Homo-oligomer: A and B are copies of this chain.
Amino acid sequence: MAKIAVLGYGTVGSGVVEVLETNKDSIKKRAGKEIEVKKVLDLRDFPGDPIQEKIVHDIKEIIEDEEIEVVVEVMGGVEPAFTFVKQALEAGKSVCTSNKALVAAHGAELLEIAKSKSLNFMFEASVGGGIPIIRPLNQSLTADEITKITGILNGTTNYILTKMSREGSDYDETLKEAQKLGYAERNPEADVEGFDACRKIAILTSLAYGSTVNFEDIRCEGISNITTVEFKYAEALGCAVKLLATSYRKDGKVYAITAPFMISNEHPLYNVNDVLNGIFINGNVIGNVMFFGAGAGKLPTASAVVADVVDCVKHKGKNVMTVWSSEKLSLGDADDEVWRFFARVKDEDDARVKVRDAFAEAKIVEIAETSGEFGIVTEAMSEAEFKAKTEGLNLINRLRIDDTQL
């Protein structure tokens, strides 16, 4: 029997308890022993809930309980999660978390503490919800040097973009509906401004290259300025608009960005719709692989957390090596990144002449639904070059185009 504690009895926490109960027998078979939730930390009480008798309000009751060998942290946020997780590791307990803010901010440090004590710190659920991606990156793609990771890593924004695309609805209206359905939070900033996806690509990039990428160093643009008009242009171009979080290695440097992109129907993530997440990886020997599935949600996320618990139980006393040092990975200059660009240009003065002068091969895109503007699709150039070339133009918006193909 392995006893565990759960920090936080919210959506994911109650999912973890539920999954452990629902699949008790098969989990026992996989872990080699039964797994029992002994204590649950939450500020609230849950009268009537079978978990009530296990509720504790003080982290000490868990840290000081020597029977508890694995702690599941599903509270979210950096603090007090970080303090609790550190205490748990220092008290000799392995930790599994779904908390990307915690992992993005302190992943390397917590991995090092775990390693030094022959414990494990696991965080499969922190990226891609239920989709196995951390473990494949950490244990399956070990023969490869990762050259590119591109993902749709945030279900909320993908839901919004998919709905806007399908129904022609506008951003504010769609966001409100997503909030009503529970797909977006009341304060949606972390999702819609791209911060959530950005933290996740920081985690994946750190794992891929073995040193720490600060998510604050990654250029990050959200979807809040995407309107119905961008979708009209996208449709005319045979493209979808997707919030991509991507990192890649080029000339010995690693670049990363999170931003809305136009992608063609040949792009591996073109069909990843609604709240689904998809992650494309290119390795120098494996070539292209892709993973997709539910990127969030109570049970898919709990599935990933419980799989980590099973792994911790199986590896008791043995650290499963993860190559992610605290050493900082300096990213290449975002202004050097090269893309094709789509831009909406105000059709004023001699804008069309300026476009012809600045861009040798820009394609002009006209759509019936707008007036006073036109679209351009440029040849590939650096961000800096694009900025310079469009200086004299009045741009309404611009999107990068990602040309990844399977």
Name A residues whose Cβ lies closer than 8 Å to a Cβ of B. Answer: 19-20, 22-23, 26-27, 29-32, 124, 130-132, 135-136, 139-145, 210, 271, 276, 283-294, 297, 299-300, 302-307, 309-311, 314, 318, 320-321, 323, 406
A318 touches B318 (CB 8 A): yes
Q: A145-B23, A321-B32 are in contact. Are A285 and B302 (CB under 8 A)?
A: yes
Q: Which of B22, B142, B297, B309 contacts A307 (CB 8 A)?
A: B142
B284 touches A23 (CB 8 A): yes
B284 touches A288 (CB 8 A): no
Residue of B nearest to A292 (CB): B290
- CA distance in complex: A142, B312 (Å): 12
Q: A135-B136, A314-B321 are in contact. Are A142 and B287 (CB under 8 A)?
A: no
Nearest Cβ on chain B to A269's Cβ, whole angstroms: 11
- CA distance in complex: A276, B290 (Å): 11
Q: Which of B23, B309, B323 contacts A144 (CB 8 A)?
A: B23
Inside 8 A of A135's CB, which chain B residues have their CB? Answer: 135-136, 139-140
B293 touches A288 (CB 8 A): yes
Q: Which of B27, B140, B300, B311 contacts A286 (CB 8 A)?
A: B300
B286 touches A293 (CB 8 A): yes
Inside 8 A of A314's CB, which chain B residues have their CB? Answer: 320-321
Nearest Cβ on chain B to A264's Cβ, whole angstroms: 13
B19 touches A143 (CB 8 A): yes
Q: A136-B136, A140-B135 are in contact. Are A287 and B299 (CB under 8 A)?
A: yes
Residue of B nearest to A140 (CB): B132
- CA distance in complex: A27, B285 (Å): 12
Residue of B nearest to A310 (CB): B142
Q: Which of B26, B140, B287, B406 contacts A124 (CB 8 A)?
A: B140
Residue of B nearest to A319 (CB): B314
- CA distance in complex: A19, B30 (Å): 32
Residue of B nearest to A270 (CB): B271
A143 touches B286 (CB 8 A): no
| Most B Cβ at <10 Å: residue of A276, A289, A303 | A289
Residue of B nearest to A35 (CB): B143
- CA distance in complex: A297, B27 (Å): 35
List 9 A-B pairs, minimum CB-CB distance, nearest first: A143-B306, A289-B293, A132-B140, A286-B303, A30-B142, A130-B286, A142-B310, A132-B136, A285-B303
- CA distance in complex: A35, B199 (Å): 34
Inside 8 A of A132's CB, which chain B residues have their CB? Answer: 132, 136, 140-141, 289
Inside 8 A of A30's CB, which chain B residues have their CB? Answer: 142, 321, 323
| Most B Cβ at <10 Å: residue of A132, A140, A290, A292 | A140
Inside 8 A of A320's CB, which chain B residues have their CB? Answer: 314
Inside 8 A of A27's CB, which chain B residues have their CB? Answer: 142-143
Residue of B nearest to A317 (CB): B318
Inside 8 A of A136's CB, which chain B residues have their CB? Answer: 132, 135-136, 140
Nearest Cβ on chain B to A219's Cβ, whole angstroms: 26
Chosen A-B contacts, 24 in total, with CB atoms closer than 8 Å, are: A20-B143, A22-B284, A23-B145, A23-B284, A32-B321, A130-B289, A131-B289, A132-B132, A132-B141, A136-B136, A139-B139, A139-B311, A140-B307, A142-B307, A143-B305, A143-B309, A276-B406, A286-B293, A286-B303, A286-B304, A287-B299, A288-B294, A289-B292, A314-B321
